[in-house]
A and B are shown apart, each in its own frame.
Chain A
Amino acid sequence: MSTRTLALTMMMAATAGLGSPVALAQIKAAAAAEKPSFKVPRTSWGDPDLQGVWDYRTITPLERRPEMGDRELYTDDEVAQLEGRAAKRLDEAPDTTVQTNLVHADYLTDPGRHVDESRRTSLIVDPKNGHMPPLTRDAQQRQDKATAARAANGAAPGGGRVDSYLDRPLYERCITRGFPAAIMPTLYNNNIRISQAPGSVAIVHEMIHETRVVPLDGSAFSGVRSYMGESRGHWEGDTLVVQTRNFNGRAGFRGAGVNLTMVERYTKVSPDRIDFRLTFEDDTQWTQPWTIAYFMRPAEGELYEYACHEGNYGLRNILQEARDAEAAAAAVKH
């Protein structure tokens, strides 16, 4: 089914109610009127061709907002309202009389201005309620312990210890964004480049400019652990399926790390859309696997380098601020 048909189907389902025979007939008629199904182009060696720079900006939230209740899809009015608000944030002057902890005004960020074309009210498609599944009992205990430890350390919100650069988060240090964080829609750098060769695929993430090389040769996982994990891929029909595991746990996601397995699915559904799905599996963390989905579209222009280290004054400044604060406190004592 093409993206357009999908969107149309979902829109009709949202407005007419799927159970109605009239609605179903309309949907079928719309699908039939659509041009013949899309044939995925091939590389010269015969694999489905997914190559290019792909943009996954979206203002659709990871989890369904409480006010949406059980509703899977946004209405036309809600889409217009959300996108209108996003455009306002990006295109209009902010209210500078309002205090905020934002480093920059919204117009200096690049999170996109559209809800996902599926119109779903959350990126999470499984569980159906649009929320991450509950933590396991052990994971909940680990999380409670970590929260208590942070509170006991007296860590400032967003701060944490600042005794050394080693205390600071890996992202702040420009070392890694980690996976899957590197492919979750965020404030900017929401782009990847897919390059293919016989037997392998490379996925370059603009954020922190990290590359994952995915062998398609059926080879076994080596077991070597890293920030971005170890990936193996294969084709299921026209869908590229990438399994990633063997994370070192130092750039984890919401408490999951060494036991996490990620499964990505890339399916080209039209010349300019990839249906992307990402499943999180870690039975030491969540009570069930969960999946997010969004459409990627061609980026305008190239992937830009993100040489994060080159001018990371922020890290130096944060350490300097902490030393200055200590010196000031010591001066008061004497």
Chain B
Amino acid sequence: MSRSTASASAVCALLCLAAHPSVAHHSFAAEFDANKPITLHGTITKLEWINPHSWLHVNVKNDDGTTTEWMIEGATPNTLLRRGFTRDTVKTGTEITIVGYQAKSGAHRANGRDLILADGSRLFMGSAGTGSPDDPKGAPAEPAEPAEQ
């Protein structure tokens, strides 16, 4: 399938920044282009469960029928483990939609800001509970499907 340009809308500087107690591990601006929002649909071919960020490899079918492998930066494995996910939660062949921002150079690399499964649930977002020690609902019984930060 295709890669489409998501509609860029208002910058929510204050709102978004206020939500965060700190900056991320590395500079977003040095690697990704905030003016290149993308939405990718594809199937997972590999998960690299590594620090400081996990990486998803996703085969994305282009409009001309060819396939491109994209590398998507995900969350840190420590965070994911605490949310109840492991490297085994993600299966090769799982269909996924990635909403994020492309590398500045135009390389087939992007951050995975939001990772959405075919049923609409979020990769790494537990539906029955977050897995957090603070969550009375406890760990998700069947993690939807997994991935990173």
**Do A325 and B51 have beta carbons less than 8 Å apart?**
no
Give every chain A residue within 8 A of B132 (Cβ-Cβ).
Answer: 90, 110, 113
- Given A314-B25, A322-B30, is A98 in contact with B9 using a C-beta cutoff of 8 Å? yes
- Mark the stretch among A186-194, A197-205, A262-270 that contacts chain B: A186-194
Question: Chain A at the B interface: mostly helix, strand, loop or mixed?
Answer: loop
- Whether B133 and A99, one on each chain, are in contact in the complex, defined by CB atoms closer than 8 angstroms, is no
A100 within 8 A of B: yes
Distance between A295 CB and nearest chain B CB, rounded to angstroms: 13
Instruction: Give the nearest-CB partner of B124 in chain A.
Output: A108
B53 touches A100 (CB 8 A): no
B99 within 8 A of A: yes
Residue from A104, A174, A307 within 8 A of B74 (CB atoms): A104
Does chain A have a CB within 8 A of B6? yes
A308 to B71 alpha-carbon distance, docked (Å)? 19
Answer whether residue A102 sits at the interface, using C-beta atoms and an 8 A cutoff.
yes
Interface window among A128-136, A138-146, A155-163, A227-235: A155-163
Asked whether A313 lies within 8 Å of B53 as measured between CB atoms, the reply is yes
Interface SS of chain B:
loop
A76 proximal to B (CB < 8 A): no
> For B95, what are the chain A residues with a Cβ–Cβ distance below 8 Å?
none
**CA separation between A103 and B22, bound complex, in Å?**
12
Number of interface residues of A (CB under 8 A): 66
A120: min CB distance to chain B, Å: 15
Which of A38-46, A248-256, A282-290, A298-306 contacts the other chain? A298-306
Residue of A nearest to B71 (CB): A313
Residues of chain B in range 48-68 having any CB-CB distance to chain A below 8 Å: 48, 50-53, 55
Tell whether B83 is near chain A: CB-to-CB under 8 Å: yes
The verdict on A321 contacting B31 (CB below 8 Å), with A108-B149, A188-B149 known, is: yes
| Distance in angstroms between the alpha carbons of A185 and B15 in the assembled complex | 20
User: What is A's interface to B at a CB cutoff of 8 Å?
Assistant: 55, 59, 61, 89-91, 93-94, 96-114, 156-160, 162, 171-172, 174, 184-189, 206, 299-301, 304-315, 317-318, 320-322, 324-325, 328
